[in-house]
Amino acid sequence: MAHPADVSALVELFDSGLPARDVLCVLGKTEGNGCVNDFTRGYATLAVKLALAERLGVTPDEVGRRVALIMSGGTEGVLAPHFLVFGRIAEGAPRPGVKALAIGCAFTRDFRPEELGRRAQIEATAEAVRGAMAEAAIDGPEDVHFVQIKCPLLTAGRMAEAAARGASVAVEETYASMGLSRGASALGVALALGEIASAPGDAAVCRDFSLYSTRASTSAGVELLRNEVMVLGNSAAWGGELAIVHDVMADAIDAGAFGRALASAGLDARDPASRRRVVALLAKAEPARSGRIRDERHVMLDDSDINATRHARAAVGGVLAGALGATRIYVSGGAEHQGPEGGGPLALILRRA
Amino acid sequence: MAHPADVSALVELFDSGLPARDVLCVLGKTEGNGCVNDFTRGYATLAVKLALAERLGVTPDEVGRRVALIMSGGTEGVLAPHFLVFGRIAEGAPRPGVKALAIGCAFTRDFRPEELGRRAQIEATAEAVRGAMAEAAIDGPEDVHFVQIKCPLLTAGRMAEAAARGASVAVEETYASMGLSRGASALGVALALGEIASAPGDAAVCRDFSLYSTRASTSAGVELLRNEVMVLGNSAAWGGELAIVHDVMADAIDAGAFGRALASAGLDARDPASRRRVVALLAKAEPARSGRIRDERHVMLDDSDINATRHARAAVGGVLAGALGATRIYVSGGAEHQGPEGGGPLALILRRA
Amino acid sequence: MAHPADVSALVELFDSGLPARDVLCVLGKTEGNGCVNDFTRGYATLAVKLALAERLGVTPDEVGRRVALIMSGGTEGVLAPHFLVFGRIAEGAPRPGVKALAIGCAFTRDFRPEELGRRAQIEATAEAVRGAMAEAAIDGPEDVHFVQIKCPLLTAGRMAEAAARGASVAVEETYASMGLSRGASALGVALALGEIASAPGDAAVCRDFSLYSTRASTSAGVELLRNEVMVLGNSAAWGGELAIVHDVMADAIDAGAFGRALASAGLDARDPASRRRVVALLAKAEPARSGRIRDERHVMLDDSDINATRHARAAVGGVLAGALGATRIYVSGGAEHQGPEGGGPLALILRRA
Amino acid sequence: MAHPADVSALVELFDSGLPARDVLCVLGKTEGNGCVNDFTRGYATLAVKLALAERLGVTPDEVGRRVALIMSGGTEGVLAPHFLVFGRIAEGAPRPGVKALAIGCAFTRDFRPEELGRRAQIEATAEAVRGAMAEAAIDGPEDVHFVQIKCPLLTAGRMAEAAARGASVAVEETYASMGLSRGASALGVALALGEIASAPGDAAVCRDFSLYSTRASTSAGVELLRNEVMVLGNSAAWGGELAIVHDVMADAIDAGAFGRALASAGLDARDPASRRRVVALLAKAEPARSGRIRDERHVMLDDSDINATRHARAAVGGVLAGALGATRIYVSGGAEHQGPEGGGPLALILRRA
C-alpha cells in the first residue's frame, strides 16, 4: 500500500476475481508508530471497510461485524507496509493425505471489565481457540501454527462501570491493561494448545514469563469487548496450494528460527527457491526485559525518544528480512506470553512447489 | 560500556597490560541519536581523553593530537554500545607467508572551506590513504579492507571566512556540508584503491552514486580541519593473530555479504566456530533513496518522528546481528559513496584458528 | 474532537440546525506530527467528507469539490485538537455602518509543475485573492485579516512530466517543494494586499525573507494542482455577530501581538470579558532560522528527535494560550513569507458584545 | 552555553572576579531530552566539575562533594540552554529593614532503599529544609520562595540489597521510583513550610495530589543516596541587590502567576522596566493527568513519539517566555506534589531597582 488508506491492491484483487464475500480477515501492517496515538490503524480499517462495503452492498459497520480487520502499526526500518487478505474460496479440493492451510474463527462472549487480564479471560479464550480449531477442521494442537487474537482493553468508562458495581479491575491504567489483556489472551492460546497444563492464576499474567505460547499473536483494541480469534493451521479437510509452519525465536536475533521453520517443511533457508515459496512471514518482537541480548547491553528500554517496541520491530524486521531476502513481513510488537521473554513466535505460510 | 562515559573496560585493558602509549585509535559506538544533537559522542570522547591522559601523563588536548578518537552515535535496536580499541603492540612477529592485520594512519593538510566536498578534498584524501598504506606496509589496494576517515564540515564561521576572501563554498548549510565532506572523502578512498579511475569533478559528489568505494567509512566532525585517515588491511610485515576481510552489502537486507566475507577467509557463516572467530564487524547503513528495497516500499525517508539514519542502523544492525549471532557490531550511518546506493561496505576482523 | 475521525461535534452542529449545504470550509487542527507522514490530516478529511456526504446526499468526492477541507497537523503541548467550521448562513442582515466577518473563496487555474514556487504562482495567487475579496464584497486590503491557502507540491510524477517536456522545476525534492509553494503563495497574498509593490522574481522565494505578508497562512497538500484561497475579512455587506482582526508576532514569544490585535477592536487583553469574546485564534509558528530568539540560543533547528516545526507549534501554542487563557487555538507551522522571519501572522475572530 | 559542555561563560565569570570557592550551586538547563537517556546532564556536570577543579586545585570528585551540581534536561521550544550559578560572596552588607536573597544548603542522611518514596524520606527532608533555613538565617516559612532538591532513586542493585535484608521497597521499577522520590521530597518541603499539617502516610505519595508544596522543585539522580537541599529565600541577615518571590501556576497556561509574583514585589508585568528586573525565572511543568486543560483535551499523555514531559516544558516555556519577554528560563518537568495537579511553582529572582 502506498499509504494507510490505499486499498487499490485490495480492489484489484476483487476485480481480478476474488469474491469480496469470501474474505474472512484482513491483517494489516500500517506505517504509524504502533503505540497509543497510532491513527494509521483506524484510518486503514475505515478504508478497508469502505472498500468492502461497496462490494458487498452493506454498511461499513456491517463489514466490521462480518470480517476480522486487524491492523498492527509499525513498519520501522526495512519493513514494507502491506495487507494480508485471508479468504476461504471454493476451489482446490483436498488431496488425500495432504494437509493444507485451514482457517477458523471464533469469538468469546463480551468480557466484564474485571475479567480482563485474568483467569476468566484465559479460560474463555482457550475455549474460543478450541472452537475455531473445530470450525477449521483442524485435528489437534500440533496442526495449529498461528493464532491471531484481537482483545479488549480497559477504558476510564469501563473501569467506572466496574467500580460502580463494586468490582475491582486488574489494573487502573489503560495502557497497562493492554498488556494484561494481550498476555491473558496468549495464555489462553497456550492452554488450548496444551503448552501449559492448566489455567494459571491472575497473579501469573505479565509476571511469570516462563509460561507462554509458541503460536499466539495478540493485539488489544478499544473497539471491542470480546476476544476475536483466528486460528491458522493445516487440515486434511482443506484444499489449495498453501500450508503453514512455525518455530520460535529464542531471542531477538535468532535468525535460525526462520531456517528451522522452513526445515520443518523439508525446505532449506540457503536455497533461494525454498525462500521464494514463503508467501507470508508473521512474527512477534519485543525488547528483552533484562536489558541484555546474549550478554550484551541493548538500549531499547532506556530510549525516551523512540518507543522500545519501535526499536524491536525495526531490529527483528532486519533479522528476518536478512534471512528471507524480502521485506513484506508482518512483525508486531507487544509479545507478552507470546514466545519466551525477549523472543517470539514466527510462522510461515508456504506455497507448495 | 554501561553509558557513554563508562571507560572502565578501557581502564581494565590498561590494568591487564595494554600499554596506553600503544593505543592508536579508539572507535566508539555510542547510544545517542547519531544526528546533529548527539552529545554522547563528545561525552565519550572527553571520558576517553581523560582516561588516556591520566595513563600517559599528558593533557587531554595532547591525547586528542596523538590518538584518533572516532565516535559514531546510534545503537538502535539490538546494537550494543561499545568501544573498539586499536593498538600496535610489540608482540607476535610476522610469520612467513602469512599476512596479518595492519594499521596505518595519515592526515591530509588542513582544508580551506571552499575545498570541502570537492575535488581538492578527494585528491588530498587519496594521497593520505596511500600514505597510510605505506606506513602500514600494505602492499596494494587488494590488501586494504577498511578505511575509516574523520573529516571536517562547514560552520557559519568557516563559511564567513571564505566569503570574506571572495571564495565560494560547495553548500551553505552546515548539515548538508557533512554529507558532501563524507562523500568526497569516500571518493578519495575509491581513487586511492583504484575503484574509480580518476578524481571526479565537483558535480559528482553526492550526485553520481554509481561512483563509490567498497571499503570507505567516513564521518564528519566539527573539531578538525583536515581528514584523519586510518587504513586497516593485511600485511606480511605484521604479526599477531588477527586478519581482516570485507565484502559489500548490495542493499540493506543483504545478509549474504556476511557469508561472502567469511568465505573469503575460508570460513563458513553456517558454522558457529567460524562465527566465533569474528572479533569485530564494521558496516555502513543507509536508507535507499529510491524509497524501495527489492521492489517493496520502505518508510524510512518519510518518517518525521525517527530520523532515517536511525531506522537504517536499527534494521541493518538486525540483519547483521542475525547473521553473526551477536550484537557488538559497529554500524554507522551516512554512507554517501560508501558502497552502492542503499547498501554499504562490511568488514570483519577475524582471529586466526 | 476526541480523535482525528471524531466528527460527532460536526454532526451535532447539523442536528442543531446548521444546514450542511451552508458549510464553505472546515479548518482542522489534528493531532499528528504535522510533517511528512502525518496521516491524521487525511483521516480527518475522509471522516468529514463522509459526514458531509451523508447530509448532502452526494458522494465524498463531490464534497471535496464543493467544500474546502484544510487540515493542519500538530497539537503539541497544550493545543487542543479541533475543527473550525466556516459557513455562510442566511440570518443576520447587515447593520448600517458595521462591518461584519465576511468570507470569500476562489481558485487559481491548475499550475504546471515548473510554475510552482515561482513568479507564475505568485501572480496567479494574487489574482485569486482579489477574486475572493470581490466575491466577499470586501472593499480593500485593509479589511482583509486572514488568507488561508491550500497549495500543491511537486511529486516524482509531476517532476517527470515536466522533465519530459524539457521544463525545469524550481527544486527536485518533494519536501523542499512544499516550502517553495507555501512561500510563493504567501507572496501572492502580499502582492494582492499591497504589502509588496510588485511580484518578486523566482530567486526571492524562500530566500529574501524581508518580503512577507502579515495575513497569509498557507499549507501544501498533494491532492490538488491549483491554489485554493479563502479570504477572511470584514465587510459592510455582511451581517452576523462576528468580526475579525489581526496583528503580527515579531518573533515566537511576542505575546503582545495578541493584545495589540484585541486593542485594534477596542478590547483589552487584561480583561477576561474581552478575552471571552475571542471565538477563534489563528496563527503561524516557525523556529527562527538564526538559531536565536532575542539574542538567546534556541535548539529547535538542531534537535534530530523532534522536528523543528513541532517545537515551534508547542512553544507558540504556549505563548498564545497563556495570553488567551484557552487552548483551542489554530497554530500552524511552515511560515515561509508569512510574517517576519521567526514570527508570524495572528488573527482573532471576535463575537461582538 | 553553546553546547552542554560549554563552560566558557563560567570561566569568564571566574576571570572577571567571582572566586570559584564562593560557588555553592550550579543549576543547569541542558538540551537533552530530560528523560531516561539524557546524557547532556552528566556531560555538563563533568565539564563544570573539571572547570571548578582546575580553579580550586582539587579533584573533580572533591568538587562534587563541595558544590551542588543540579542539571535539568530539556530546553524544548523557545527555551535557552543556560547555567545559573549561585554563590555567596563577601560584598554588600545587609541594609536595615531590607531582606535580601539568602541561600542555605543541607543534606539528609543516606536513605535505605526501603525508605525512598515513603514517610521516612518525607520527614528527613523536612528536617533538612529546616536546617537549610537556619543556615541561611531565614526567619520563617513565609520567607522561603524556592526549595531545590536532588534526591536518589532505586536501582536494581539497591533493590536487591533491600531484598537480601528482607526489606520491601515502595516500587520495583527504577523509572517509577524517580517519581516517588521526587514526590516524597516535595511533601517534605510542604511539611517543613507548614503547607501540610503532618507527614502523610506512604500511600499518599504520588496518589493524593491535593497535597503539595508551592515552593518545591525536586529532581532525582542516580549518583546520590541522600537528599541534597538548597533553600532560596529572603533574609534580613543578607546583603546584595537580589531578592526572590514566588507564586503558583494553577495549570499549564496560567500566565497570570508571573504577574502575581511580580506584583508581590510591587512590580507590574505590563511594565518592561519591571520585567527587566527579573534575573532568573524558575518553574515546574507537567501535563495534567486528567488529559484536559480548562475543559479542552490535550494530547501530551497520548503521544508515543514525544515524551509528555517534553511537551509540557515546551508549552510552559512558551507561556512564561511570552509573559517575561525572554527565553532564559529554568523550566523543569516531573512536578509530583510540586504545585497543584497540572500546574506548578514559579519563582523569580529579582534585582532591586
Instruction: Give the pLDDT confidence score for residue D104 in this predicted structure.
Output: 95
- Chain B residues whose CB is inside 8 A of the D4 CB are 39, 42-43
pLDDT digits (tens, 9 = 90+) for A84-138: 999 998 877 899 999 999 999 999 999 999 999 999 999 999 999 999 999 999 9
pLDDT (tens digit per residue) in D197-250:
999 999 999 999 999 999 999 999 888 899 999 999 999 999 999 999 999 999
- DSSP-derived secondary structure letter, C339: S
| C276 part of contact set with chain D, CB < 8 Å | no
**CB contact residues (below 8 A), chain A span 316-345, against chain B:** 316-323, 325-328
Q: CB neighbours of A331 closer than 8 A, spacing ≥ 6?
A: A29, A74, A79, A283, A284, A285, A313, A316, A317, A320
The pLDDT tens digits of the residues spanning A213-250 come to 999 999 998 888 999 999 999 999 999 999 999 999 99
CA distance C40 to chain A (A): 7
Which pLDDT tens digit goes with each residue over B67-80? Answer: 999 999 999 999 99
A42 touches C: beta carbon within 8 Å: yes
Q: Is residue D43 within 8 angstroms of chain B, CB to CB?
A: yes
Search chain D and give the residue with CA nearest B43. D43
pLDDT single digits (tens) D39-78: 999 999 999 999 999 999 999 999 998 999 999 999 999 9
Mean pLDDT (chain A, rounded) = 95
Nearest-CA distance D321 → chain B (Å): 23
In chain B, the residue whose alpha carbon lies closest to the alpha carbon of C34 is: B304
Does residue B341 surpass a pLDDT of 90? yes
| pLDDT tens digits, one per residue of D131-155 | 999 999 999 999 999 999 999 999 8
Q: Which residues of B are catalytic, by number?
A: 150, 219
Looking at the DSSP bridge assignments, the partners of residue B151 are: B220
Please name the amino acid found at residue C301: L
Q: What are phi and psi for residue D190, nearest 5 degrees? A: -55, -40
DSSP summary character for residue D243: E
> What values do phi and psi take at D248, rounded to 5?
-130, 130
H/E stretch holding A229: strand A228-235
Looking at the predicted structure, is the pLDDT value of residue B230 above 90?
yes
Q: Does the pLDDT at position B139 exceed 80?
A: yes
Compute the nearest-CA separation of D303 from chain A (Å).
6
How many CA atoms within 13 Å lie on the side-chain side of D136? 32
Q: Coil, strand or helix: which one is A104?
A: strand
pLDDT value at residue D17: 87
- Chain B interface includes D147 (CB < 8 A): no
User: Which subunits sit against C, judged by 3+ Cβ pairs under 8 A?
Assistant: A, B, D
Compute CA distances C256 → B35, C40, C146, C243, C320, whole Å. Answer: 36, 32, 18, 20, 9
pLDDT beyond 80 at D14: yes
Chain D: give the shortest CA distance to residue A36, in Å.
6
| pLDDT score, position B135 | 95
Instruction: Map grid coordinates 493492554 to a residue.
Output: A178
Query: Which residue of B36, B40, B41, B305 is the best one to mutate when testing the C interface, meaning the one whose CB has the most C CBs within 10 A?
Result: B305
Residue whose C-alpha is closest to residue C105's, from C24, C26, C181, C23:
C24
Mean confidence (pLDDT) of chain B: 95
Range name among A58-62, B223-227, D348-352 with the lowest pLDDT average: B223-227
Per-residue pLDDT tens over the stretch B164-218: 999 999 998 888 899 999 999 999 999 999 999 999 999 999 999 999 999 999 9
pLDDT at C231: 97
pLDDT digits (tens, 9 = 90+) for A146-160: 999 999 999 888 999
Strands D216-220, D144-151: parallel, antiparallel or unpaired by DSSP? parallel
Beta-bridged to residue C47, according to DSSP, are: none
CB spacing of C40 vs A42 below 8 angstroms? no
What single letter denotes the amino acid at residue B288? A
Q: Do D311 and C81 touch (CB under 8 A)?
A: no
Percent of chain B with pLDDT over 70: 100
More confident residue, B127 or C334: B127
What the block records as the C-alpha cell of D111 is: 536513605
D260 and chain C: CB distance < 8 Å anywhere? Answer: no
- Region D27-31: mean pLDDT is 96
Output the 3-class SS for D98-146.
CCEEEEEEEECCCCCHHHCCCHHHHHHHHHHHHHHHHHCCCCCHHHEEE
Q: What are the cell numbers at A197? A: 497444563
* C315 closest CB neighbour out of D298, D314, D323: D314
Contact C151, C227 (CB under 8 A): yes
- DSSP code of A335? -
As averages over each run of 10 residues, the pLDDT of chain C (353 residues) reads 96 93 95 94 96 96 92 97 93 88 95 97 98 97 97 91 94 90 98 97 96 96 90 96 97 98 97 97 96 96 95 98 98 96 97 86
Among chain C residues, the shortest Cα distance to B173 is held by C289
Long-range contacts of D157-162 (CB under 8 A, 24+ apart): D158/D113, D159/D113, D161/D113, D162/D112, D162/D113, D162/D114
Rounded to an integer, the average pLDDT of D314-338 is 97
Is D61 in the B-facing interface, judged by CB distances under 8 Å?
no
Contact (CB<8Å) C314/D311: yes
Residue A259, pLDDT > 90, answer: yes
Instruction: Say which of A177, A219, A235, A332 is annotated catalytic.
Output: A219
DSSP B129-141: HHHHHHHTT--SG
A2 touches chain B (CB under 8 A): yes
Proportion of chain B above pLDDT 90, given as a percent: 91
Residue B276: enclosing H or E segment and its boundaries? none
DSSP string of A168-225?
A: --S-S-HHHHHHHHHHHHHHHHHHHTTSSSSPPPGGGTTT-TT--BSSEEEEE-TT-S
D304 and A307 within 8 Å at the Cβ level: the answer is: yes
pLDDT at A210: 96
CA B300 to chain centre: 22
- The pLDDT of residue D174 is 86
Q: Is the predicted pLDDT of residue D128 greater than 90, yes or no?
A: yes
Select the residue from B319, B329, B330, B331 to test the A interface by mutation, using most A Cβ atoms within 10 A.
Answer: B319
Half-sphere exposure in the Cβ direction for D185 (13 Å, CA): 32
Q: What predicted TM-score, i.e. pTM, was given to this entire model?
A: 0.96
What cell was used for D241?
541587590
pLDDT confidence of residue B93: 85
Q: Which three cell numbers stand for residue D228?
A: 541534597
Q: Are strands C344-351 and C278-285 parallel, antiparallel or unpaired?
A: antiparallel
List the grid coordinates of D331: 523550566
Nearest-CA distance D177 → chain C (Å): 25
Active-site residue A219, yes or no? yes
